[in-house]
Amino acid sequence: MNPRPAPEPCIAVIFGASGDLARRRLLPALHNLQTDGLIPDSTAIVGTSRTGYTSEDWKADMRAAVEEHSRIPPTDESWATVAKDVHYVAGDVTDEGFFPELGELLEKIDAENGTNGNRLWYLATIPELFHLVAERLGKSGLSKTGGRQRIVVEKPFGKDLRSARALNQALATNFDEDEIYRIDHYLGKETVQNLLVFRFANAIFEPIWNRRYVDNVQITVAEDSGIGERGSFYERVGALRDVAQNHLLQLLSLIAMEPPIAWEPDDIRTEKVQVLRAVRRWSTRECNEVTVRGQYEGYREEANVDPESDTETFVAMTLFIDNWRWADVPFYLRTGKQLPAKVTEIAIQFKHVPHLLFARTAVEELEPNVLVIRIQPDEGVSLTFGVKVPGPEIEVRTVDMEFDYETDFGSGSPEAYERLLLECMLGDAMLFTRADEIEEAWEIVDPIREAWGEGKPAGYEPGTWGPKAAEELLLRAGHRWRDPA
Amino acid sequence: MNPRPAPEPCIAVIFGASGDLARRRLLPALHNLQTDGLIPDSTAIVGTSRTGYTSEDWKADMRAAVEEHSRIPPTDESWATVAKDVHYVAGDVTDEGFFPELGELLEKIDAENGTNGNRLWYLATIPELFHLVAERLGKSGLSKTGGRQRIVVEKPFGKDLRSARALNQALATNFDEDEIYRIDHYLGKETVQNLLVFRFANAIFEPIWNRRYVDNVQITVAEDSGIGERGSFYERVGALRDVAQNHLLQLLSLIAMEPPIAWEPDDIRTEKVQVLRAVRRWSTRECNEVTVRGQYEGYREEANVDPESDTETFVAMTLFIDNWRWADVPFYLRTGKQLPAKVTEIAIQFKHVPHLLFARTAVEELEPNVLVIRIQPDEGVSLTFGVKVPGPEIEVRTVDMEFDYETDFGSGSPEAYERLLLECMLGDAMLFTRADEIEEAWEIVDPIREAWGEGKPAGYEPGTWGPKAAEELLLRAGHRWRDPA
C-alpha cells in the first residue's frame, strides 16, 4: 500500500451555515477528519448565512451539533483544535458588497494559517442560490486566488435537464470541471465503493455479469418513514427527482458499467456515463407503461403538503440498457417513503439452469441464484444457491452464503460526508458526479415526469411495498420483486 | 416431490458377519433404516462366518454393537423389530456343502417373511474371498432365485488392474452388471451427492467451471490419526491403494465431470468414467516427478508393521485431465495419516483477475477467489472473495462467505452406510462404482506404484502436511497448498 498524501491546508467556506446540513453533517465530518488526523490542523472553517450570529455564537451552536451528531464524540481538546480556526460571517450572498468582505477575512486566514489561497466552497444553501453564488465567486475574483479551488454543489442539482444544464454552465464559466464536486452522498458510502472492488477484484463474478446469465436486476432504495418535517421541500421534488434521478441511477451505472481502464476518476465516470447513455429512452406511452408512481395514504395530511397534492412518494420503473452486455435484461428500480423497511440493496437475479437434471424427483422449480449487495443497513453480500436436502430423495433447497461487513471489519466506518470532504480536499473527484452524468440522468427522468402530466399517483398503504401496480409491472414480465425486509 | 417407493422386502446376507464392518456399520445401518421406516419390517438379516455363534449369540452381540455405534440408540421395541428376523449360520464359504445349507435357511425365510427370493449379498469378508463367494453363489444356484439379486462388494476392489479385472470377471459370470454394487462409502456421504446438486442446480458456477477461470483444484483427504490396530491390513495396501485409487479419484471425477444428460445412475457414471479416461497417463519418469510418497515417523514401530516397511502413509500427486474443459489445469490430490487435521475438502482455486485495476494503491497482489467444498467435518461450502477495507485507501482484503450444512439442516444426517444399503435395496446404483470406473482408476494408479519400485518413501513428522517434497511439488508450478485446518 502506498498511503495517499494528506491534503494541503485549505479554508472550507460553507454557504448556508445556519442550515441542517452544516449542523448534522459538515461540522461533525470536519471535526472527525481533524480528530483522525486525516486533514491538517490548520484547516479553517468559515460559515456564512444571513443569520446574525457572531463567530462565538456559531461556534457554540456547532459544538452542540457535533455533540449531537458526530460519530466520534468531541472532547474539549478535539473541539479546541477545530474551533481555533472556525469563523462566521453574517451576510447576504445577493448583496454585492458581501463577497469582498468575505475575501478580506479569507486572506487574513491565509496569512495566519498558511492556507495559501486554497478554498473549498461548499454550497449548502437553498438550490435557487447555487447559480448566483458560483457567479459571484467568479466575478468577485475569490475563485482566482492562485491556490487550489474546489466548489462542492449539494443536491438537488437542478430540477430537470434544462435547469441542470444552466447550473453546469454557470459553474463552468467560473470554475474548471476538475474544480467542481457534485455531491451524491450515496457515493461516499463504503458499500458503494465496495461494489466496484467487489466486481473488479474478483475474477469469478465478471464472467457471469451479463445478459447470458443475468435474468433481471432489482435496485431498491426504501425508507420506512414518511417525509416528516420536510413537506415544503418534498412537495417541490417528489421521489423521482429526490432519489431516482440520483441514487437509483448512480447504483444502476455502478452495477452495470464496463470494467474501467484504471482506477482514476475520469476512467470510472466515463464508463458510468456510457451506461446512462445506453439506457433506452421511453416514448410518452411507454413511460406510462413501464413506470409506477404512488403516494402513501396520509401524505396529503402531512405538514406543509397541499391537501390535493399529486407529488409521488413512490416510484418504480423498468429500464433497459441497450448495449452488448445488457440487451434485454430488465433493470427494475424502485424507491419510496413509508415502505416496510429502511433498506438499500441491489439484487442480481440469475437465470435458471439450462437443463433441469432433477426433474424426476424434484417437481418444484429450482429457485435461481440471487446475489444481493446490501448497501444499508447491515452492509454486506449474500448469495443464494441450491443444495441437496439431506436424505435419500434428491430435494433441492435454497440456502444463503453471507458476508457481513460489520462482522469482519467492526462498526464505526467513517460517515459518507467525511469521505466526500476528504476526497474533495485531496482533489479526487471519483466519488462525485460529472456534468455529463447529471445531464444524462435528467434525460432519462424528464420524459417520465412529463409523461405523467396531469395524471394522479396511485395510493398505497404505509408499510406496504407501494401500489399494486408496482407488483404487476414485474408480473407482466414473469418476474417478482425480492422482499428485502 | 415424488417420494421414491419403499424397497421390496429382502434377505440381507452378510458374509464376514463376525467382523468389524458388520458390528460398526451394517447392523446399525439396518437397524436405523427399519426404525426410520425406510425399509419393510419383514426385511431379514442373515449373518454368516466361520465363528461358531448361535443365532442368539450373534443377536446379543449385534444388539451391543448397535448400542455402541448407532446414530439412533436402539430401544427394546426397535431392536425387537429387527431381531425377530435376524439369523446366523456358522460355516466356511470354502466348504462346498455350506451354500446348499444356507439356501435352505433362505427359502424358509422367504416362506415366512414374503421376501420372494430377493437377496442382498454383502461381501464383508477378507478381499481374498470375494471372488470365491461370488462364484459359489452362482454355482450353487443361490443367485438365481427369480427374485431381485444384488451383490455388494466392499473395498478394496482388487489390488491392481489385473486383480480388479479378475474380480469383475468373476462377478460378471455370476451376476448382471446392474446387480453388482461396488462400495466406496464416500459416495454415501451427503456432501458428495450435494456436490452434484451444487454444480448442476445452480446456474452461476457452471460457466466458470473450466480452464478459462480455474487455476488449479486441490483435493485433500486427511486423517489426523495413525493406522492404529490396522497394521497388517495397512502394510499390504498403503495410502495410494487405500484412499487415492478410490476416494480421491471419485472426488476428482465428481468435481470435473461434464453435466450428465439425466439424474440416472448410468448417465452419471458414464460421465465420471469419461473424466478418468481423460486423466493423463504418466510415464515412469513422470510418475516420480509428479507424485510424492511419505511415511510418518514412527510408522515402523506400529503394531504388525515391518520394521523396514516402505509402505506409504502419505501420497500427493498432480493429475491433468486432457479434455476441452480442463486441459492444462493441474489437479492436486493428497491423502495421508498423521496429518494436522481430519478433513476432506475440495478447493477450486480460480485465476487472478485479468487486469489489476487497483495497482495504484494496492501493491500486494490480490488473492484469487477460492471455492471450498468441505466434505468432512462441518460439511459446507465457502467462497473467498475480495472486498474493500473501509477507509479512504483502496485496500482489498479477502473475506469468506460461508454456508454450513448443519446450521441449516441440523445434525444427524443418515450415515453413509444407511444410504448405501437403502440405495442397493432400491436397485439404484448411482452411488456405487461401475466396473469400468474401477478399472480406469487402477490404470491411473498402477503405473505410479510400479514407478516407485524399490524406492523409499520420504519421512514426515506426525502433525505436518507430509514430506517437504509435497510442498515443492506445487511450488514448482507456482502454486501452494491451501491449509484446510
pLDDT in tens, A64-99: 999 999 999 999 999 999 999 999 999 999 998 999
Q: What is the pLDDT of residue B364?
A: 52
Angle at A450 between CA A448 and CA A453, to 5 degrees: 115
Identify all chain A residues contacting B431, using CB atoms and an 8 Å cutoff: none
Closest chain B residue to A382, measured at CA = B401
Closest chain B residue to A417, measured at CA = B392
Contact predicate A133/A24, CB 8 Å: no
Identify all chain B residues contacting A390, using CB atoms and an 8 Å cutoff: 190, 405, 409, 413-414
Among candidates A38, A197, A213 on the partner chain, residue whose Cβ is nearest the Cβ of B387? A197
**One-letter-per-residue 3-state SS of chain B:** CCCCCCCCCCEEEEECCCCHHHHHHHHHHHHHHHHCCCCCCCCEEEEEECCCCCHHHHHHHHHHHHHHHCCCCCCHHHHHHHHCCEEEEECCCCCCCHHHHHHHHHHHHHHHHCCCCCEEEEECCCHHHHHHHHHHHHHCCCCCCCCCEEEEECCCCCCCHHHHHHHHHHHHHHCCHHHEEECCHHHHCHHHHHHHHHHHCCCCCHHHCCCCCEEEEEEEEECCCCCCCCHHHHHHHHHHHHHHHHHHHHHHHHHHCCCCCCCCHHHHHHHHHHHHHHECCCCHHHHHHHEEEEEECCHHHCCCCCCCCCCCCEEEEEECECCCCCCCCCEEEEEECCCCCCEEEEEEEECCCCCCCCCCCCCCCCCCCEEEEEEECCCEEEEEEEEECCCCCCCEEEEEEEEEHHHHHCCCCCCHHHHHHHHHHHCCCCCCECHHHHHHHHHHHHHHHHHHCCCCCEEECCCCCCCHHHHHHHHCCCCCCCCCC
Contact predicate A339/A318, CB 8 Å: no
More confident residue, A255 or B4: A255
Q: What is the pLDDT of residue B360?
A: 53
More confident residue, A410 or A250: A250
Q: What is the pLDDT of residue B361?
A: 47
Q: How confident is the model at residue A266 (pLDDT cuts 50, 70, 90)?
A: very high
User: Does residue B376 belong to the interface with chain A, where contact is any CB pair within 8 Å?
Assistant: no
Region A174-182 average pLDDT: 96
- Do B357 and A402 lie within an 8 Å CB cutoff? no
**What cell was used for B395?**
485496500
A120 pLDDT higher than 90:
yes
How does pLDDT run across B291-319, given as a tens digit for each residue?
999 999 999 999 999 999 999 999 999 99
Question: Active site residue: B247, B352, B355, B479, which one?
Answer: B247
Question: How far apart are alpha carbons A187 and A200 in whole angstroms?
Answer: 17
Identify all chain A residues contacting B213, using CB atoms and an 8 Å cutoff: 203-204, 207
B 423-442 residues with CB below 8 A of A?
A: 423
Among candidates B204, B212, B381 on the partner chain, residue whose Cβ is nearest the Cβ of A350? B204
How does pLDDT run across A358-373, given as a tens digit for each residue?
765 454 568 899 999 9
pTM of the predicted model as reported, rounded to 2 decimal places: 0.91
Q: What is the pLDDT of residue A363?
A: 40
DSSP-assigned beta bridge partners for residue A285: none
Q: What is the pLDDT of residue B113?
A: 95
How much of chain A, in percent, has pLDDT values that exceed 70?
A: 98
A453 pLDDT higher than 80:
yes
A17-31, A103-117, B43-57, B409-423: least confidently modelled range: B409-423
User: Does residue A211 belong to the interface with chain B, where contact is any CB pair within 8 Å?
Assistant: no
Q: What is the pLDDT of residue B412?
A: 66
Rounded to the nearest angstrom, the minimum Cα separation between B471 and chain A is 26
- Do B401 and A391 lie within an 8 Å CB cutoff? no
Identify all chain A residues contacting B388, using CB atoms and an 8 Å cutoff: 190, 193-194, 197-198, 201
A192 pLDDT higher than 90:
no
Does A355 participate in catalysis according to the annotation? no
The residue with cell 458581501 is A98
Q: What is the pLDDT of residue B96?
A: 85
Which residues lie closer than 8 Å to A103 by C-beta, 6 or more apart? A140, A141, A142
> For each successive 10 residues of chain B (485 residues), what is the average pLDDT?
82 96 96 94 96 94 96 95 96 93 96 96 95 95 93 94 97 96 87 86 94 98 95 94 96 96 92 98 95 98 96 98 98 98 97 79 70 90 89 84 85 83 94 96 97 94 98 96 91
Instruction: Give the number of A-B residue pairs with CB atoms closer than 8 Å.
Output: 210
**What cell was used for B111?**
416362506
Torsion of CA B457, B458, B460, B465, to 10 degrees: -90
User: Does residue B37 belong to the interface with chain A, where contact is any CB pair within 8 Å?
Assistant: no
> What is the ipTM score, two decimals?
0.89
A190 pLDDT higher than 80:
no
Nearest to A91 by CA among A128, A66, A55, A120: A55
How much of chain A, in percent, has pLDDT values that exceed 90?
A: 81
Q: What is the pLDDT of residue B256?
A: 98
Chain Cα centroid distance, residue A164? 17
Q: What is the pLDDT of residue B2?
A: 58
How does pLDDT run across A308-344, given as a tens digit for each residue?
999 999 999 999 999 999 999 999 999 999 999 999 9
Identify all chain B residues contacting A364, using CB atoms and an 8 Å cutoff: 1
A2 pLDDT higher than 80:
no
DSSP-assigned beta bridge partners for residue A382: A372, A402
A20 pLDDT higher than 70:
yes
- Do A357 and B399 lie within an 8 Å CB cutoff? no
Among candidates B263, B396, B422 on the partner chain, residue whose Cβ is nearest the Cβ of A360? B263
User: Does residue A319 belong to the interface with chain B, where contact is any CB pair within 8 Å?
Assistant: no
**Mutate which: B204, B358, B400, vs A, most A CBs within 10 A:** B204
User: Does residue A409 belong to the interface with chain B, where contact is any CB pair within 8 Å?
Assistant: yes
A 377-406 residues with CB below 8 A of B?
A: 381-383, 385-397, 399-403, 405
Among candidates A263, A369, A405 on the partner chain, residue whose Cβ is nearest the Cβ of B360? A263
**B34-41, long-range: CB < 8 A, 24+ apart:** B34/B78, B34/B81, B34/B82, B35/B72, B35/B74, B35/B78, B35/B81, B36/B72, B36/B414, B38/A392, B38/B6, B38/B418, B38/B422, B39/B6, B39/B7, B39/B9, B39/B422, B39/B425, B40/B6, B40/B7, B40/B8, B40/B9, B41/B81
User: Does residue A324 belong to the interface with chain B, where contact is any CB pair within 8 Å?
Assistant: no
Among candidates A201, A203, A395 on the partner chain, residue whose Cβ is nearest the Cβ of B350? A203
Nearest to B294 by CA among B450, B449, B470: B470
Question: How far apart are alpha carbons A392 and B4 in whole angstroms?
Answer: 9
User: Does residue B363 belong to the interface with chain A, where contact is any CB pair within 8 Å?
Assistant: yes
User: Does residue A363 belong to the interface with chain B, where contact is any CB pair within 8 Å?
Assistant: yes
Q: What is the pLDDT of residue B363?
A: 40
Q: What is the pLDDT of residue B192?
A: 75
